[in-house]
Amino acid sequence: MTNVLDGINKRTQLVGQNRMELLMFRLQDGELYGINVFKVREVIRCPQLTTVHSSHSVVRGVANIRNKTLSVLDLGLAIKGPPIDHEKESYVIITEFNRSIQGFMVQSVERIINLKWEDIRLPPEGVDTNNYINAVTNLDDELIQLIDVEHVLSEVVGEPEMLSSNTADELKVKEGQLNHVLIVDDSKVARSQISKVLGQIGVECTQLNDGKSALEQLKTWAQDGNPITERIAMVISDIEMPEMDGYTLTSEIRRDPRLKDLYVLLHSSLSGVFNETMVKKVGADRFIPKFSADELVNEVLPIIQGTRGQTPRAA
């Protein structure tokens, strides 16, 4: 299955066109799932695993892959479903995101499909997804569910460290500084992490879960005729999002004369050298990978400190 990802570098041309490629796979429940190809390093048949008794219950073991010892998580168990049947042929999707490399065991791997982000939507309200499904799409009348792997990983390794209370007190936003930011991320876990850290230093956050909603909110705020930079200090946006990705959101912000001066920080679990190139191409101010509380605050605070104005109305 390794050749399924051959030529991945060529796929970077999709970035910035509101398009993505999805690797489809199935778990023991037989349903079809997907993960963004840019999170995937390799797909292999499941190797012999060594059990680690002190590990989390969804960790099926560790394996030596490419001279590195990696934990292999049962993705079925991780989303509260039936475990992968290791007695049958199974696969490991080796991923890199959130500054770490890990393997996800799946029952079978199918093919890669090319989609528009606008074809990917949030799960319908009322659908019980156990918070592990952050988007859905359809292919040939079959539902594809996109798993929030950031949520899965956070449950296994724990929440990232917050700022120490002493550090948070030292870095508090001063009176008269604009302390409101817009957070855009389709992962509920990621939005919570960002808002908790920024809340420690006195920053208020409006949270939205996709680029389209964020752009609509920004345009609504701009209708009052006042500079948008007097309402919010900056936008912190994920890259992968249903309906409109972070690159496209940034491009749309730069095209709108009312919004073009906003500071845009792209904050994504995706890694790869293409990020820095795309930051410049779409006009974002900065990119940082998820998730480091210290790094996030060090990026946000100077922007906040450079602002002046009244604290804006809550969204």
Residue-averaged pLDDT of the chain: 85
Question: How far is it, in rounded angstroms, from Cα 280 to Cα 87?
Answer: 48
Does 278 have pLDDT greater than 70?
A: yes
Residue 313 within any structural domain of the chain? no
2-55 residue pLDDT tens: 444 444 444 445 555 677 889 999 999 999 999 988 889 899 999 999 998 877
Question: Rounded mean pLDDT of 135-144?
Answer: 92
**Stated pTM of the model:** 0.79
The verdict on 96 and 178 lying in the same domain is no
Q: Label residue 198 left, alpha or beta by phi (over 0 means left) and psi (-120 to 50 means alpha).
A: alpha
Domain boundary among 157, 189, 220: 157
The verdict on 204 and 301 lying in the same domain is yes
Q: Label residue 81 left, alpha or beta by phi (over 0 means left) and psi (-120 to 50 means alpha).
A: beta
Question: How far is it, in rounded angstroms, from Cα 52 to Cα 54?
Answer: 6
Number of H helices, E strands in the chain: 8, 15
The verdict on 226 and 245 lying in the same domain is yes
Question: How far is it, in rounded angstroms, from Cα 105 to Cα 44?
Answer: 10
Residue 36 within any structural domain of the chain? yes
Sign of CA dihedral 82, 88, 137, 36: positive
Question: Rounded mean pLDDT of 145-165?
Answer: 84
DSSP 50: B
Predicted pLDDT at 266: 94
The verdict on 187 and 74 lying in the same domain is no
